[in-house]
Structure 1
Amino acid sequence: MRSVGTTPFALREAARVVSRGGVVAYPTEAVFGLGCDPLDPDAVLRILEIKGRDMDKGLILIAADLNALLPYVQTLDAERMAEIRASWPGPNTWLLPARPETPQWLTGAHDTLAVRVTDHPLAAALCRACARYGTHIGSGALVSTSANLSNRKPARTPLDVRRRLRGAPDLLVAGRCGRHPRPSTIRDGRTGAVLRG
């Protein structure tokens, strides 16, 4: 697994890897994530294979702003969206109704999609770099699932990624995770109910 730093040049290299169907590992608010182009089915299926994750569970998309997520999800009424917008950017993932055209490899067995506007500066910068590279319409969103085998401890350092995934990602962005002690809270956008605290 190749490793790059956190400079703008390194993030452009990571965006190039994503645009070519690659899988990258990168730091998020609490743990390292595995990411790829959400509209590349081969890359998404490769992440599921790396993790040993069932496609039916669905995945999370992150972005630097809500606009990058709108090609994938439908907004809710003004009151619900006000609460959601107030929690972003931040370590808060919300399940929103998926658009009919959103691929099943992202939603799994659900009619919703988990989305987050990240407040991790490096993850947000990577999303913006992917948007500038312009892989697909609606680019700027990135798959974000914890860098670990399913049901195992998530990686919190670049060394953890190397040890736990044995070189599986194509590129490792070797930055630091945020200070949040646990992965993002997941809530149902329609009700506000906490599904993962």
Structure 2
Amino acid sequence: MNQKHDSLELCIRQLQMSAVIAYPTEAVFGLGCDPDSESAVTALLALKHRPVEKGLILIAADYEQLVPYIADEQLSAEQKERMFSRWPGPVTWVLPARAETPRWLTGRFNSLAVRVSDHPDVVQLCSQFGKPLVSTSANLSGLPPCRDADEVMAQFGADFPVLRGETGGRLNPSEIRDVLTGELIRQG
């Protein structure tokens, strides 16, 4: 067994137990957890010192994984075309959330930020876990985002579950856009 496969198996088990993990994304390492586990999301928010009101991003292997959380039926063909023209890839879209989507994901909003990634480790992780992950940069409050597994362990401890892999090499976090208006919310 190689180190990457072992770390993937470990991370899947940790996700199934509502733990928080770290994994490589397009630009930095992300912290992630099961979006359906309030205890996991609460633990992630506590690690980041992030208020629940800000809302979170879900990252997925494909669009179908996001459908249970978003109000897909509210999107026009043109809006979907705009979104799909940039996916998979490092663009996060803000979409209307389903009424039943937990507030621990949406925060104070009636929308949810989502991304279909083209990073092979993210795709494999979400595919094997069978659903999207909460995704926020892996860093403690006030520290820069981690760009490799060693930095994750330096900030979060040697026993923190990390998917071994490389980031996609991008310098900036994902661009964020509103799917309804096309408006740029955060430059990528």
Rounded Cα–Cα distance in structure 2 between residues aligned with 1:125 and 1:173: 11
TM-score (structure 2 length as normaliser):
0.93
SS at match of 2:169: coil
Rounded Cα–Cα distance in structure 1 between residues aligned with 2:37 and 2:159: 17
TM-score (structure 1 length as normaliser):
0.89
**Pick aligned residue for 1:57 from 54, 57, 62:** 54
Aligned residues: 184
Tell me if the contact between 2:7 and 2:162 (Cα under 8 Å) persists in the aligned partners.
no
- CA RMSD between the two structures: 1.4
1:96 is aligned with what amino acid?
L
1:111-150 alignment runs, 5 A limit: 111-131=110-130, 140-150=131-141
Per the alignment, residue 110 of structure 1 pairs with 109
Cα 1:155–1:84, aligned 2, differ >3 Å: closer, same or farther?
same
Confirm whether residue 87 of structure 1 aligns to residue 86 of structure 2.
yes
**Pick aligned residue for 1:186 from 165, 173, 176:** 176
SS at match of 1:144: strand
Cα 1:154–1:168, aligned 2, differ >3 Å: closer, same or farther?
farther
Q: Percent identity?
A: 47
Confirm whether residue 72 of structure 1 aligns to residue 69 of structure 2.
yes
Per the alignment, residue 12 of structure 2 pairs with 15
Cα displacement (A) at 1:31: 0.4
Task: List gaps (5 residues or longer) in structure 1.
Answer: 132-139
**Pick aligned residue for 2:146 from 135, 144, 155:** 155
Task: List gaps (5 residues or longer) in structure 2.
Answer: none
Cα 1:22–1:180, aligned 2, differ >3 Å: closer, same or farther?
same
Tell me if the contact between 1:11 and 1:129 (Cα under 8 Å) persists in the aligned partners.
no
Q: Spell out, residue by residue over 1:163-188, the C-alpha distance to the aligned partner (whole angstroms, 9 max, x if none).
A: 2223584x111211011111100001
Detail structure 1 runs of 4+ shifted over 4 Å in the superposition. none
